[in-house]
Structure 1
Amino acid sequence: MSKRRPSGDGMVRKRDDGRWEGRIVVGHKDDGKPIFRSVFGKSQKELLEKLHQQKTVYQDVELTEGCAMTLGDWLDKWLDDYMNGTVRPSTLQGYRNYAENYIKPHLGEKTISLITTTDVQRMYTKLKKSGRIVEHEKSGKSLSDSTVRSVHSMLHLSMEMAKHEGFIAHNPTLGTVVPKPNPPAKQILNQKQLNLFLSVIEGDCQWHDFFYTAITTGLRRGELCGLQWEDLDLELGTLKISRTVHDDMTIGDTKTGESTRKIFLPPSAMEVLAERKETVKSEWIFPNLLNPTQPTRPSTAYRQLNFILEKANLPSIRFHDLRHTFATHALTNGVDAKTLSHILGHTKASFTLDTYTHVTGDMQQRAAQIVGGFLEGVMV
């Protein structure tokens, strides 16, 4: 049996075509055979310089046999063997979408251990410029900054695991430049718009209760769809939020541990749900209209929201902006941040305050005026 060649061991030869070729050992296969990495140069001097660079790159690195797989194959393996069951179904589906629609078309066929930071940066640039699958009427083919950042975060995670498994020497996502966070502006319905919204849903016997509960509790779309009658306590006036429905109709846990919570309902919302309980024959508070044994699909609720907004001649907002509307009006009407944080299922009250600085800034200004007036009265 031949002696195992150490990583970093190299060879140099002049090829028949006149070029110089150098090879270094960068790891070993399962059977102990060496894995080589080749570099080429027009002259021996040029080759030796490149070979020295490669030895520096692979110093203290021991690649394994998986280094020969393509990035596309690795992403499939990473998603199926490493991520499946460890992240929320919606997160996993998002990762699969990023892999299939954004990463694989650009780098999916390239050997994972040969992907460079330059390769990844070029992909980000192309995605930002023309990465959108379906052309948007305003943005065209340009992919949003947040989506490019999400693709980067997912690819970074997968490459860190590839490095851990010995498939790559270094994570090529390190050193890339990605767009800065640029979240969409929060949109809320002001009091006049909110009144109009409520008047429009008043005449919608199928969707009134759903959207009234949404606007009076600030629940997330999936949380609303996941409500069951066992979660409602009519005597105490409470509602337990303990599950969420995903667009693929799988039922999962709430977003975080703090998102599993019990809240007190406003009297008007309790009255709406109490009356609804008399007529809805399903375990779900908001069952699928076509199949009452299943909950409402979140995407269906979003489409219905767009229909209501158009009918009411209101601005086009996201479903999550109903949550922002609830929170903003709650703060401006005196609900403290700690209480609101629990209602919304936020991890910390500080997150609630940071999220709604546009409101808390005005509240602080009013507080300063109140304190100032109080002190003036004392000093008179």
Structure 2
Amino acid sequence: MAKRRPSGDGMVRKREDGRWEGRIVVGHKENGDPIFRYIYADTQKELTAKLRQSIEAYQGVELTEESRMTLGQWLEQWLKNIAPTIRPSTLNRYEGTVRNHIVPFMGDKPITQITGKDIQKLYDTLAHQGNRNTGEGLASSTVRGVHSMLHEALGEAKHAGVIVWNPTEELKAPKFSCKAKQILTDEQLERFMEIIRGDTVWHDF
């Protein structure tokens, strides 16, 4: 039997097209075969620097075959796993968040390639044009809810050996932003009072 290659073990080669390719072991399949992460660069020096950073990041990490999942696939599995442990109303809200606000924008991206910048871009998109029916932006509370759910789901992915780190930890939770309240002028208030004087219930109230 071949010796099991430890996570963080890497190798470098020059491709036929002139570019340099590096790969490191980031985990193992159930049968013991290694799972590789591939890195590319135009020069050997550039690749060496990238490879060194990746080796440090993945040293001691043991990813599973589920690391090949897309974000959408992981979220679908995660929802099935937590369904018995949360309220039906919470599950419905999470399912709607995944279906309407995450999958359409980044559901097909491999979960191991999701970065903090990707998630921030998602939040910005949702805030400006997240409503697919009207094209309007979502409320800040809704975007904050997306962040909270993603943080929980990706945290579980890290715990399960699907990703190395939780990219939501690179970001601050989106802030609440309240729209300015419209206050009636004296003229508008007087007009309002005139209208309800004919209704004894509302006028007394």
Match of 1:263 in 2: none
1:175 aligns with 2:174: no
Question: Whole-Å Cα distance in 2 between the matches of residues 122 and 154 of structure 1?
Answer: 16
Tell me if structure 1 keeps the 8 A contact 2:147–2:174.
Answer: no
Task: Report the CA distance between 1:182 and its aligned residue.
Answer: 3.5
Does residue 3 of the first structure (1) align with residue 13 of the second (2)? no
Contact 1:5 1:34 in 2 (8 A): yes
Q: Say if 1:85 and 1:18 are closer, same or farther in 2 by CA, change over 3 A.
A: same
The alpha-carbon deviation at position 179 of structure 1 amounts to 2.5
Displacement after TM superposition at 1:123 (Å): 1.1
Could you give the per-residue CA deviations for residues 207-249 of structure 1, whole angstroms, max 9, x where no partner exists? xxxxxxxxxxxxxxxxxxxxxxxxxxxxxxxxxxxxxxxxxxx
Change in 2 beyond 3 A, CA 1:197/1:172: farther
Deviation at 1:198? Answer: 9.6
Question: Aligned-pair RMSD on alpha carbons?
Answer: 2.6
8 Å CA contact 1:117, 1:175 repeated in 2: yes
Contact kept? 1:27, 1:63, Cα under 8 Å: yes
- Return the offset for 1:142: 1.1
Residues 197 and 33 from structure 1, CA distance in 2 versus in 1: closer, same or farther, beyond 3 angstroms?
farther
8 Å Cα contact 2:27-2:34 kept in structure 1 = yes
Secondary structure in structure 2 of the residue aligned to 1:77: helix
Going from structure 1 to structure 2, the CA distance change for 1:182 and 1:3 (only over 3 Å counts) comes to same
Q: CA deviation at 1:106?
A: 1.4
Alignment correspondent of 1:145: 140
Partner SS state of residue 6, structure 1: coil
Q: Provide the C-alpha distance between the structure 2 equivalents of 1:59 and 1:106, rounded to a whole number of angstroms.
A: 31
State the distance in 2 between where 1:185 and 1:60 align. Answer: 51
Question: What is the CA distance between 1:10 and its match in structure 2?
Answer: 0.2
Deviation of 1:117 (Å): 1.3
Residue 161 of structure 2 corresponds to residue 166 of structure 1: yes
| 2:15 paired residue number | 15
**1:16 Cα deviation after fit:** 0.2
Query: Equivalences for 1:48-127 in 2 at 5 Å?
Result: 48-81=48-81, 83-127=82-126
Distance 2:28 2:2 in 1: 13
Unpaired stretches in structure 1, ≥5 consecutive residues: 187-191, 201-311, 313-380
Change (3 A) 1:197 1:148: farther
CA distance in 1, matches of 2:95, 2:178: 22
**8 A contact 1:124–1:178 mirrored in 2:** no
**TM-score, length-scaled by structure 1:** 0.47
Contact 1:25 1:34 in 2 (8 A): yes
Aligned position for 1:47: 47
User: In the alignment, is the contact (CA less than 8 A) between 1:148 and 1:178 conserved in 2?
Assistant: no
**What is the Cα deviation at residue 102 of structure 1?**
0.8
How far apart are 1:178 and its partner, in Å?
4.1
Q: Please report how far the alpha carbon of residue 114 of structure 1 lies from its aligned counterpart in structure 2 after TM superposition.
A: 1.6
User: Could you tell me how far apart the structure 1 residues matched to 2:154 and 2:85 are?
Assistant: 17
Residues 93 and 184 of structure 1: CA distance in aligned 2, closer, same or farther (over 3 Å):
farther
Partner of 2:187: none
Identity %: 52
Q: Is contact 1:26–1:36 with CA below 8 Å preserved after alignment? A: yes
The size of the alignment, in residue pairs, is 191
Ranges of 4+ aligned residues in structure 1 off by more than 3 Å: 182-186, 196-200
- Does the 8 A contact of 1:121 with 1:177 survive in 2? no
Larger radius of gyration: 1
SS for the counterpart of 2:141 is: helix
Deviation string 1:117-140 (CA, Å, 9 cap, x unpaired) is 1111111111111111332xxxx6
Contact kept? 2:63, 2:162, Cα under 8 Å:
yes
**Deviation digits for residues 73-93 of structure 1, max 9, x if unmatched?**
111110012x20211111111
Aligned to 2:129: 130
Amino acid at match of 1:164: H
Residue in 2 that maps onto 1:354: none
Decide whether the 8 Å contact of 2:67 with 2:161 is kept in 1: yes
Higher relative contact order (CA 8 A, sep 6+): 2
* Equivalences for residues 309-348 of structure 1 within 5 A: none
